[in-house]
Amino acid sequence: MSANPTTGDSTAAPSGTYAIGGDLPVVRLGYGTMQLPGDGVWGPPRDHDTAVAVLRRAVELGVTFFDTADSYGPVVAEQLLHEALHPYADDVVIATKAGLTRQGPGIWTPVGRPEYLRQQCEMSLRNLGVERIDLFQLHRIDPAVDLADQVGELVKLRDEGKIRHIGLSEVSVEQLEMAQAIAPIATVQNLYNLAHRDAQELLDFCERNDIGFIPWFPLATGELSAEDGVLGAAAKDHDATPSQLALAWLLRRSPVMLPIPGTSSLDHLESNTAAAGIELTDEEYAALTALGD
């Protein structure tokens, strides 16, 4: 059993490291910025100063991998990262995305036209205040545009030195293989958590091919967090929360797993980060894994 993981001096370091694209090391437990803008991921944060403080505290807690997107706000999250962390520490890696447009709170529309993706890359470079984006992800594949044209534009941007690595989001194994035929794909980002494992085949593929897997919505536990259930019992044994156990399970699930729990609360940030120090027993891991069978 691990020590009490809820203390504020816990860091992300025990989660280990992973090298994105084979040459870009990050601490595996990262931070996702989607919850920083207002309701519906639209407009400014409810508390601007706290949003900035959360980002700075994440770095203090050893987080080096930050995931964002031009559509979060839109542009709000990228600009907050710039305000809070620029000039960036040498070990800080920022991943952003393009390919979803916004028409209002909670509305997301794919646009994958090459000229649009190029425009958004240029905007992200400006909003983040960088000369090259570490990891540039296609937020969604636009079904109205050939995949080769979408990924091909990212290849051009990479060759021009504007992005370092290419990632995809919400894809199938078949789509990933098609994209890999065009360019090396460093990461994928799909919905995956203790309660939702539809992307298991994709995770297995990523593990076999050393592709980083970024699970979005990593804290979801649903009905699994009942106090009398396996998750609730394990959380009680570790003096932890079900969400912390869900993160600990993800980190153990695969060496290519890069969870990015997001929050606009300093307390929740401390709690999420402390999950890196939770060591599940073999029996606990097996029991939690079996919940998805």
Instruction: Based on the residue annotation, tell me whether 192 is a catalytic residue of this protein.
Output: no
Rounded CA separation 148/134 (Å): 21
Residue of 111, 74, 77 whose CA lies nearest to 94: 77
Q: Which one, of 17, 38, 108, lies nearest residue 71 by Cα?
A: 108
Q: Hey, what amino acid is at 16?
A: G
Answer yes or no: are the C-beta atoms of 110 and 98 closer than 8 Å. Answer: no
Q: Please give the C-alpha separations between residue 49 and each of 53, 186, 293, in angstroms, as whole numbers.
A: 6, 33, 43
Both tokens of 54, joined, read: 């959360």
CA 109 → CA 49, 94, 105, 141, distances in Å?
30, 23, 12, 11
The one catalytic residue among 72, 88, 116, 192: 72
Which are the catalytic amino acids? 72
